[in-house]
């Protein structure tokens, strides 16, 4: 499965999807100042995608592959469950390409995310917040089963076009942006597409690169968009034996890091981005303690504009 060629005139992004990918790699000043010169942390600024998150990559590939296979046509409704960002990408691309979009979203998704989805014209079904993303998955499956002739079930948790988008784009970008110097790659686990696709591509380039997964450290957490895999419905695209290491991150440490990134680096990022930074800093400090060099790369999936109603910002 191949994505369309993104190489267009840099001055003219002819269509919306031409703006997806090619995100910059960010460095840090104050938060990493204590690290030795031979240990570096970088993060891809995925909010520069047109829908504001890394999920634009997967959503576009899911839609494009379904168009090519004939599964998605103008008379079908694109249906999926989402905690917000993939839904925003579906809604944005659906509006641009002429598809109706129906999304099942936990009712505790941030008000900003819900407002954006409604602005794009998506049809929303809010599910039990206590059931989280798993409840939304089950609700979406039930609706598709009841309306099979009307639905294209995008099924981001089980669709290989999800991880393949990152194999074809994100992994290539990281390798090129670091000139092949990357030693560690970290990504949070939601659908797991970013970790699986990017990690596989980087392992293709250099099997010695360490691929590290990030997830909440307990089943009850405040890390919207991330799954605690031992107690969640595991995505079909997730291979739990793939990562070289799995790190659990606490809600409290993540919220504190979100404030630090905003106030010390000027990066106003989302919750999963802050969790990624907590884990990346842990790995960097371990390398420094052992006197080992490293080029650590993670992703900042989105910025904080969809989370500013959260109370932790005032801490």
pLDDT digits (tens, 9 = 90+) for 56-94: 999 999 999 999 999 999 999 999 999 889 999 999 999
- C-alpha 174/C-alpha 43 separation (Å) is 10
Which contacts of 196-199 are long-range, i.e. CB under 8 A and separated by 24 or more positions?
Answer: 196/163, 196/166, 196/237, 196/238, 196/239, 196/242, 197/162, 197/163, 197/164, 197/165, 197/166, 197/167, 197/168, 197/170, 197/171, 198/166, 198/167, 198/170, 198/171, 198/174, 198/299, 199/171, 199/242, 199/243
**Cβ–Cβ < 8 Å for 59, 86:** yes
Per-residue burial over 96-129, b if 16 or more Cβ lie within 10 Å, else e, is: ebebbbbbbbbeebbebbbebbeebebebeebee
pLDDT tens profile 4-51: 444 544 555 578 999 999 999 999 999 999 999 999 999 999 999 999
Residue 250 CB neighbour total at 10 angstroms: 16
pLDDT tens profile 290-312: 999 999 999 999 999 988 888 88
Catalytic machinery residues: 55, 272
- Going along the chain from its start, the domains and CATH numbers come out as 16-52+161-314 (3.40.50.1100), 55-153 (3.40.50.1100)
pTM given for the model: 0.92
- C-alpha 123/C-alpha 100 separation (Å) is 8
């Amino acid at each position: 499965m191949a994505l369309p060629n993104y190489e267009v005139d840099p001055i003219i992004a002819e269509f919306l999807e031409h703006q997806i990918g090619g995100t910059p790699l960010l460095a840090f000043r104050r938060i990493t100042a204590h690290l030795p010169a031979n240990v570096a942390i970088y993060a891809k600024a995925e909010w520069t995608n047109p829908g504001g998150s890394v999920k634009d990559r997967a959503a576009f590939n899911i839609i494009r592959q379904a168009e090519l296979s004939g599964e998605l046509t103008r008379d079908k409704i694109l249906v999926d469950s989402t905690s917000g960002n993939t839904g925003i990408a579906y809604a944005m691309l659906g509006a641009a390409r002429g598809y109706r979009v129906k999304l099942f979203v936990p009712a505790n998704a941030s008000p900003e995310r819900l407002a954006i989805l409604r602005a794009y014209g998506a049809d929303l079904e809010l599910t039990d917040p206590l059931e989280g993303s798993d409840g939304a998955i089950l609700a979406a499956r039930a609706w598709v089963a009841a309306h099979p002739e009307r639905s294209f079930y995008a099924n981001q948790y089980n669709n290989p076009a999800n991880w393949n988008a990152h194999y074809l784009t994100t992994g290539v970008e990281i390798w090129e942006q670091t000139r092949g110097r990357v030693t560690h790659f970290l990504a949070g686990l939601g659908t797991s597409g970013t970790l699986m696709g990017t990690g596989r591509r980087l392992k293709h380039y250099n099997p010695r690169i360490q691929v590290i997964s990030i997830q909440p450290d307990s089943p009850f957490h405040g890390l919207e968009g991330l799954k605690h895999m031992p107690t969640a419905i595991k995505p079909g695209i997730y291979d739990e034996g793939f990562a070289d290491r799995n790190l659990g991150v606490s809600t409290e440490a993540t919220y504190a890091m979100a404030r630090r990134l905003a106030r010390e680096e000027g990066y106003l990022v989302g919750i999963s981005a802050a969790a990624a930074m907590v884990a990346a800093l842990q790995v960097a400090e371990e390398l420094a303690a052992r006197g080992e060099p490293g080029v650590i790369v993670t992703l900042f999936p989105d910025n904080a504009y969809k989370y500013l109603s959260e109370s932790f910002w005032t801490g």
